[in-house]
Every structure is written in C-alpha cells, then in structure tokens.
Amino acid sequence: MKKEFHIVLYILFFTIFSCGSVTNFEEDLDINSSDIEVDTTFINPNNGGVNNNGVFKILSLGDSYTIGESVCETCKFPVQLVDTLLTITQNKSSFPLKIIAKTGWTTTNLISAIDAENINSDYNLVTLLIGVNNQYQRKPFSTYETEFPKLVEIATKATNNNIENLIVISIPDYAFTPFGRANTTISSEIDTYNNFAQAYCNSRGITFINITGITRQGLVNPALVANDGLHPSKLAYKKFVERITPIVLQKLNLN
C-alpha cells in the first residue's frame, strides 16, 4: 500500500513539472487580459469613470432667474435643488454649488462673466437659464442665435465635455406677472427664444426642461410671483425644482 502511494505521488509530480513553469501553466489555460471582466458597479459614469466619494459639484449659469432676484438666499432654485438632493440622499452626499448669474445679464454679459471666472471643467452638473434680458433689452435675436450655442459649448466644457450632465432650462414668461400685464407680445417673443433653444438642444441630445408653463400661472396664482411683481417666487422656484430633480437624480446616478 505504501509503495503504491509513492508511485501515485511520483506520477503526480512528473505531470506537474512536465507542464513547465507557472507562467507556462497560465498560457496553457489561455488566459488573456481582454477576457477579464471588471465590475464597475461602484464607478460613477458621470464623473469620468472616477469614484467621487459622494461629492457632486454643481454649476448654475444665468441671470435674475438663477440668482433669485427678490427672493431669499435659500429660495433661489439652485439652492432649493441642492437642499432637495441633500434630503433625498440623507446627507450622505454633498453638492458644492457655484452660481454665476446676475440680474439684468444678457447672453453677452454671461459669456464675459464666465471668461473672467476661468471656471474648472470638473462639474458633475451644469444648469443654464439665459435669454430673458436679450428679449427685454430689445437685443437683436441674431445675438441670441450666435451666443446661446457658445454658452452651451462653455457649459459643456465645464462638465469635462460630458454633455449628458448639462441641463438647459426654458425662459420664464414675465408677461404673466403684474409687471407684464398679460402682454401677448412678450409671450410670443419668449416663445421664439425658447423654441430656438429647445430645437438646438434637441438636435444635439442636450436635456431641455420647460418650466415656462409654471410661470404662466402667475396671474391666476399670485403666490408664484415674488413681491416685486416681476420675478418668480420661492414657490415658483420650488415647482421648477420638482420638475428638474428627477432628471438630476438620473444624471448623477442617484436614483
């Protein structure tokens, strides 16, 4: 019995060493790195394939509708959006917010301001809402046709050229405020701007969210208008955020 055991061991060792080294053994199994699958479940696809440890940087570009003219600091829609995301994620993620916006800015002003800021290209989400002052200040529509695409390009670069992480928001209609007095010309011109922006975005696969209809309830629901009788109120911005949030959750892979 002992002799037979030694014979089995001898055959086993002979077989192993006849196959060559460990390296040759791997080759015999035909292992190739291209055949190895990597589990990327925990890699955030919206951050260049790099795990950002739950930090999502947000950049909001615009004018009075982004800076929140006539409402409190925490009432403007970008801040309400961040607060909503913090609640949804139970503060397990953070959302550093940068706003480049000022009341009265046209597309020209916004481009100049962004150039002066020299912004980074590592934002996980960028929102763009611009154009009402081009209309209000009677700027040639051709200016918007030229500068809106440029702003989209700038905003896209801020997302490290990940166009999926850009959201363009439609221009509110201030005709439906005490200041606007249901002026149909204002509404028609706002439609012209929004239609151009939406068509441009649709042709390039950019997310366009229409919130104009919310503001067109301003005369029948005065609570949607700020105390200045012109700009959206905290409630109106809350409704903007309710419409925007599901899209943001999807883009940031948080749902």
Here the tokens at position 102 are 């000022």
Q: Are 78 and 235 in contact (CB under 8 A)?
A: no
On the CB side of 249, CA atoms within 13 Å amount to 14
Interior angle at CA 76, CA 71 and CA 82, nearest 5: 150
**What pLDDT was estimated at residue 207?**
98
Give the per-residue pLDDT at 173. Answer: 98
Q: What is the pLDDT of residue 105?
A: 98
Mind listing the pLDDT tens digit for each residue in 132-151? 999 999 999 999 999 999 99
User: What's the order of all strands across the beta sheet hosting 207-209?
Assistant: 97-101, 58-62, 125-129, 166-169, 207-209
For the chain, 255 residues long, give each residue's pLDDT as a single digit of tens: 544 444 444 444 434 334 443 333 233 323 232 332 322 222 343 444 334 689 999 999 999 999 999 999 999 999 999 999 999 999 999 999 999 999 999 999 999 999 999 999 999 999 999 999 999 999 999 999 999 999 999 999 999 999 999 999 999 999 999 999 999 999 999 999 999 999 999 999 999 999 999 999 999 999 999 999 999 999 999 999 999 999 999 999 997
CA distance 223 to 214: 12
- Please write the tens of the pLDDT for every residue from 160-175: 999 999 999 999 999 9
DSSP label at residue 220: T
pLDDT given at position 53:
84
Q: Tokens 């020209």: give the residue.
A: 108
Q: Are 87 and 47 in contact (CB under 8 A)?
A: no
- Could you write out the DSSP letters of every residue in 103-157? TT--HHHHHHHHHHHT--S--SEEEEE--HHHHHTT--HHHHHHHHHHHHHHHHH
pLDDT of residue 50: 36
| Tokens encoding 31 | 């292992």
What DSSP letter does each residue of 100-117 carry, written as one string?
Answer: EE-TT--HHHHHHHHHHH
Question: Which single residue is written with the structure tokens 């104009």?
Answer: 212
